[in-house]
Structure 1
Amino acid sequence: MELTADVARKLRAAEAVCFDVDSTFCEDESIDELAAFLGVGEQVAALTAKAMGGSVEFKEALRTRLSVMKPTHGDVERFLREHPHRVTKGIPELVSLLKSRGQEVFLVSGGFRQIIHPLAESLGIPLSHVFANTILFDSHGAYAGFDESEFTCRSGGKPAAIRHIKDKYGYESVVMVGDGATDLEARLEGAASLFVGYGGVVVRKNVAEQADWYIMDVQQLIDVLAAPAPGGL
Structure 2
Amino acid sequence: MGKGVAVVFDSAGTLMRMYRVAKEHDTGSIIEDVQTTLLVSQAPGRALVVIRSWFEQINNCDSKMLLRDFIEHYGISLGISCASSPFEVEEIYSIVQKSDVRVNDILEVVSTVRCHCPDISFVAAGIIVDSQKTPVPYVLSTGGRMYSNTPRTIDSIREMGADVYIASGDDYPGLELIASSVGIPMSYVYGVATTRDKERIIRELKQSYDSVVMVGDGMNDILALRAADVGIMTVQQGDERPSVLRDAADVIIDDIFDVVNIVAGI
Calculate the TM-score normalised by the size of structure 1.
Answer: 0.64
Whole-angstrom CA distance in 1 between matches of 2:223 and 2:215: 11
1:165 and 2:165 are equivalent in the alignment: no
Once the two structures are superposed, residues 61-88 of structure 1 have per-residue CA deviations (whole angstroms, 9 ceiling, x without a partner) of 223xx4xxx5632348988997314111
Whole-angstrom CA distance in 2 between matches of 1:200 and 1:177: 12
CA RMSD of aligned residues (A): 3.4
Query: Residue 74 of structure 1 aligns with which residue?
Result: 55
Whole-angstrom CA distance in 2 between matches of 1:90 and 1:156: 28
What are the residue-to-residue correspondences of 1:107-126 with 2, within 5 Å? 107-126=166-185
Whole-angstrom CA distance in 1 between matches of 2:29 and 2:56: 13
Query: Residue 83 of structure 1 aligns with which residue?
Result: 120
Q: Which has the higher helix share?
A: 1
1:205 and 2:195 are equivalent in the alignment: no
Task: Give the partner amino acid of 2:253.
Answer: I
CA contact (8 A) 1:120 1:126 kept: yes
1:116–1:98 distance in 2 versus 1, CA, 3 Å: same
Query: Residue 37 of structure 2 aligns with which residue?
Result: 48
1:219 Cα deviation (Å)?
A: 3.1
Whole-angstrom CA distance in 2 between matches of 1:40 and 1:106: 37
Once the two structures are superposed, residues 100-129 of structure 1 have per-residue CA deviations (whole angstroms, 9 ceiling, x without a partner) of 111011011111111111110111000011
CA contact (8 A) 2:17 2:147 kept: yes
Once the two structures are superposed, residues 146-183 of structure 1 have per-residue CA deviations (whole angstroms, 9 ceiling, x without a partner) of xxxxxx1x33121112223344xx21310000111221
Question: Percent identity among equivalent residues?
Answer: 25
CA contact (8 A) 1:199 1:215 kept: yes
1:156 and 2:196 are equivalent in the alignment: yes
Does 178-187 or 76-85 show the bigger shift? 76-85
Q: Which among 37, 41, 62 is matched to residue 48 of structure 2?
A: 62
How many pairs are equivalent? 180
Whole-angstrom CA distance in 2 between matches of 1:107 and 1:221: 14
Task: Give the partner amino acid of 2:212.
Answer: V
1:219–1:122 distance in 2 versus 1, CA, 3 Å: closer
1:41–1:125 distance in 2 versus 1, CA, 3 Å: farther
Q: Which has the higher strand share?
A: 2
Query: Residue 9 of structure 1 aligns with which residue?
Result: none
Larger radius of gyration: 2
Whole-angstrom CA distance in 2 between matches of 1:124 and 1:97: 12
Whole-angstrom CA distance in 2 between matches of 1:20 and 1:56: 24
Where in structure 2 are there 5+ consecutive unaligned residues? Answer: 60-109, 123-144
